[in-house]
Amino acid sequence: MNQTILPGPRTGRVTVPASKSYAHRFFIAAALSRAPVTIHCRGVCGDIRATLSCLQALGADIREIAPETYEVAPLLAPRRKPCILPCRESGATLRFLLPLVGALGINAVFHREGRLPQRPLEPLLAELVRHGMSATADGCDLHCQGQLRSGDYVLPGDVSSQFVSALLLALPLLPGDSTLTLTSAPESAPYIAMTEEVLAAAGISLYRTGSRYRIPGGQRYRLPSHLTVEGDWSAAAFFLCAGAMSREGIAVDGLSLPTRQGDSALLPLLRQMGAVVNLSSGCITIRKGRLRATDIDARPIPDLIPPLSVLAAAAEGGSHIQNARRLRYKESDRLQGIAELLNSLGGCLTVDGDGLLIHGVSHLQGGTVDPMGDHRLAMSAALAALSADAPVTVRDADCVSKSYPAFWADFQSLKGEAPCPAPSETPSV
């Protein structure tokens, strides 16, 4: 499916879907709980459906009992026969469930699609093998078996925070105590804090001293019987950045403040770039100011870099995005991809090692872009159309379903901004 976006700023109001990051964690914790859990999760996306399919394959009973409301009956008796786990293209699904099948003693085949077989699993996989599991790759399939053992685990923190979260989710299930030591500072610490929050809600105890966790074994998950997943800041970023290009502004509902979602760091960045930010009654409204360039550290906020790059391309001056190495290992080489996408529309971006140099232009051009199957690049192309002088057509536009199935409907619900009123003539004297 192709999608064509007319040029020019938009205005309106949208409600964003539930946080994909929280949803993965809550659904897994619910499947491990001792009693059924009802979860309200707005706008379930492809990645979350992958996690739900895998949990069902492992023995959980998950039913949609009302629109966007799911009842999760737990894995009280996990299946012992080999399980086929359809991860689709979801890195979080694969990484979170790898240690879990070992902790449950289940033989499993993880089926991976798209770029997922190329995305990093080391050194997590090596630690799992060191503690009793075995893993063999066969094309898109990863065969895992063996019982994971308690012990002392060691990981670098700067490869993927999902590796840390995966072990924190699984190790409490083992009979003995374990430790997890991080040999370097985590690049996306807020995502680990999110995991700690979900574990605390489920009654799981962790003890952290500096870079070392002590994880008591023999614990049981006990989530509350009902919960609601808060809105997704990563998804909202595209509309918040769109508001920064709109004189009339865009209002976004469904976001929580305060929150452990690291992408809420977008608000101070938008202020830094000159946007007008208004918070009121659970709604965030962003309006255009005089956009100016800024320097951005991508390390804690990799998912914000695509929309912020579009905004920087429309700002005055030169912006520098640094420490963006992890973007090369997403659904595409997202660092190269955002540069090529915006340059094809008349932008001025240069890949600088693991960063981007962005020189703002007065406006972008229209054209046709290929997001290479990357949902965040497709949404970035829609955002780019707002500062373009002609329509932008996005190929393979339905790739947004990976994280935000309703994105195009929500985007098209925004109205074109009314033209600026012409300045009144001053009568001659």
Are 276 and 288 spatial neighbours (Cβ–Cβ below 8 Å)?
Answer: yes
Q: Confidence class of residue 42 from pLDDT cuts 50, 70 and 90?
A: very high
Q: How confident is the model over 66-83, as pLDDT tens digits?
A: 999 999 998 876 676 789
Q: What average pLDDT does the chain have?
A: 94
Q: What is the pLDDT of residue 425?
A: 40
Structure tokens at 350: 């240069």
Q: Confidence class of residue 188 from pLDDT cuts 50, 70 and 90?
A: confident
> Any catalytic annotation for residue 232?
no
Q: Confidence class of residue 420 from pLDDT cuts 50, 70 and 90?
A: low
Packing angle, helices 46-58 and 20-32, rounded to 10: 10
Q: How confident is the model over 201-223, as pLDDT tens digits?
A: 999 999 999 999 999 999 999 99
Catalytic annotation, pick one of 47, 232, 263, 303? 303
Q: How confident is the model over 86-137, as pLDDT tens digits?
A: 999 999 999 999 999 999 999 999 999 999 999 999 999 999 999 999 999 9
CA distance 377 to 374: 5
For residue 144, the surrounding DSSP H or E stretch is strand 141-145
Q: Which of 107-111, 358-362, 369-373, 416-420 has the lowest average pLDDT?
A: 416-420
Q: What is the pLDDT of residue 417?
A: 81
384-397: average pLDDT? 97
Is the full-model pTM beyond 0.85?
A: yes
38-48: average pLDDT? 98
Residue in this structure with the two tokens 């255009």, named with its chain if needed: 288
Structure tokens at 56: 């069902």
| Structural domains of the chain sorted by starting position, each given as residue range(s) with its CATH number in brackets | 3-16+231-416 (3.65.10.10), 20-216 (3.65.10.10)
Going by C-alpha positions, the residue among 338, 296, 293, 299 that lies closest to residue 312 is 293
Sheet architecture: strand order including 250-253: 276-280, 283-287, 250-253, 10-15, 415-416
Q: How confident is the model over 275-329, as pLDDT tens digits?
A: 999 998 789 999 999 999 999 999 999 999 999 999 999 999 999 999 999 899 8
